[in-house]
Structure 1
C-alpha cells in the first residue's frame, strides 16, 4: 500500500518505517519504495526494512520502469510499502497519480492531535476527492489516549477502517535539517526509535493491512553493456550519500565494477577508470574535506590522466575552488572547476528537470541551497518541469562533467554511460 497524508509533516516517514520495522519483526519480507526523487527518507526506510529502497516517479523514471521495479519486488516480498510525497494530491506527478497508474491501494496518515470527528471529515475528503483511487483506510498519528482512538474510529464511515492508531511519543520523532531528515547513520538511537514506533502502532487497536494486490509481469530491455570492463570509484560517506540505488544497479547492468571510497577519510582513490561524486552534505564537512589534501590531489591527477569524473550537486560543489557554509566559513575545495559556491538559508532551486545532451534526453531533479559564482560556460542548460524553477547549467571540462542535477541513469543508459566512459571534447 502507498502511505500518504493530507500534507507534509503528518508523520509519513515515521509511520512507514514503523510499519516496515513491525512487520519485519513478525517475520514478513518487507520492501519499501519512496515516491519522488528523495535520497534521505529512503535511508531511514532501508534501515527499517533491511533492504535497499528505490524511488518511484512517473515523470522521472517512466511508468514501465516503475511497474518493473514493483513486479520484481513483489516476487521476493510479502509486503510492499510505498511512502508518498507531500500531500496525497500535491504536485504534477502526485502520490495519487502514482497509486492510480500502478493500481496500488492508498492509506492516509493523519496527525490526530487536537481532532476528534474532524479526523473523519479529512479522511472522507481524501477518500472521495478522486473516486477512482483505491483508498483502503487511515492511520491516526499522535493519538492521545485509548478514548481518543475510540472517538476517531467511531467517527469514520463503516467502510473506512482505522488501520492503526499510533500513540503520541516525541521520542520516535526524526530530527531534520535544511534538506530534510537527518541521515540514518547520524541518528545514533535509530533502532530504538523505530522499535518504539513499531510498538506504538498497536497501542490501541491491532495493526491492519489491506487485501493483497497483484502486479502484472513487466520486463524492460536490459541496458547495453557499454561499461564492460570499466571500474568506477563511487564516493560514499557522510558528505556524499545522495545515491539512487537504481543508478548503481544501472551502472552494474552496463558492465561496470563499482568500488567505494570516502573523500572524508581516504588519502587516495581506488584504482579506477572513472569517478562518481554524488550529492550530499559537503557543507557540513567543510574543513575535513579541505584538509584532505591527498584526496584532492588524487582527483586532480585522475583528471590530468584523461580519466572520467562525473559529479552531481554536492559532488559538483566539491570540485569548485571554494565552498562557503551558511555561517560564512569558507574552505578550499578540489579546484578542478573555476568558481565558488556559497550556502544560503533559503532554497535556490527545487524541482524536476529535463537535460538534453548529444545522446538525447535524460531526466532528474534539482534541490539545493547554494548559490554558484562561476565564469564557466555550460554546454547545456536543463529545462525545469515547473514554471517557477530555473534551468541548471551542465558543465564539461575534458573528461569531467558536472552539474547541480541529480540524474536518473535508467531513463537514458546510453547517455549515462558517457559520463564514465572517458575523454570528452570541451
Structure 2
C-alpha cells in the first residue's frame, strides 16, 4: 500500500505542498474516493477534530466545537475525472479506475479537487491553532461532485440530523484566475445544469426504401436544429440560457436505416423560471418532432444529471468579501457569473441558510505579466488549460497559501469571538 502523507499541527507550507502532490498523483473517480477520504480523515484527526467517515458513501465530516456560537460549514469536494493527464509534472497522475460503465479509464484531478482538499486542511490547521473564535466548525469532504450526486448523498445519510445544522455554507473552486486572486460574484454565481438522455424511435429498414421506414436520423436532425431556436426565440433578451446537444448516435451501416437515435442534451441557465421554461420547450420540441415524423412510439426522455443554480446570498457575500479582502486586498474581484455548475448549493438549501462560494485563482501569475487590461487578460485565459483539460494543474504556490487563508478568514468572519 502506498504511504499516505497527512497534515498535522507541525505541518508547514512545504508539508502542505507534499500532501498536495500526493493527492494530485492519486486521484480517484466519483464515489471511489477511499484514499483521499483517508488522508482527509487522518489529517483532521491529527489536528484535533472529531471525525466521521463513510457519510453518504466516502464522505468525511470533521467537527471542532468551542462552546456556544454559530456553526460554519466549510466544504471541499474530493473526486477526480476520467482524463489522461498531459501536464508533464513530476507528480502527474498515472492512476486508472473503473468507471460506472465498468470501463478501465485513466483518472486525473482535472478540476482541482485535490487543491480544494489541501486548502481545507490548511484552513483546518490554522483554525485549530487559533484560540480566538467560538462556535462549531463543520468541515465536509464531499464525494461525487462531478456526478452531481455527492451533496445529496450526504444529506440523504442524515448529515444535519447527525452532526448539526450550519448557519452558513462556505467554499471555493480553483480556476484559471491568476494565483493570488479571488473572485466572488453575488447572486446567481454558477449556472444550473440539466442533462437529458433522449431516445427517438423510428422504423428501420433498407436504405434504398426510405418510404417504407420512419428515419430516426432525420427526426434527430430536426430535433437538433429546432432546439437551437429555444434560446434565440423563446428566451428574453435580458435572460440567459445555453442548450447544447453533446452527443448524437444512430445507425451501424450506410445502407441501413436504424430503428432509433439517441441524443444527450445539456441545458444551463441562471434563473429557475428560465430553467423551467427552457426544459419544457426542450421536451415539447422532442415530442412534436417525433409526432411530425410519424414515430411509432413516444420518445423516451430521461434526466440523468441535474445540478441546481448556485446562488450566492448578496448579504452573506458582502460579509464574506470583507474577510476575503483582508487576505488578498485589491486582488479580490467580481469575475461575473460562470456557466459551470456545482452541487454545493444543495447543502445550503437543505439547511435553509446562505451559501457563499468563490473562485480561487490557480494560474501561474507570470503568464499574466503582459496583460494590462481586460482584453489582455481574456487573451491569456484563452491560451492556458482550463478545468477538465488534460493539461490543467494549478500552481502550488501561492494557490495553497491563499486558498487556506481565504477559507480560514471566511470561517472566522461567521464564527463567534
TM interval, shorter chain, is under 0.3
Give the helix-richer structure, 1 or 2: 2
Greater RCO (CA < 8 Å, at least 6 residues apart)? 2
Over alpha carbons, which structure has the higher Rg? 2
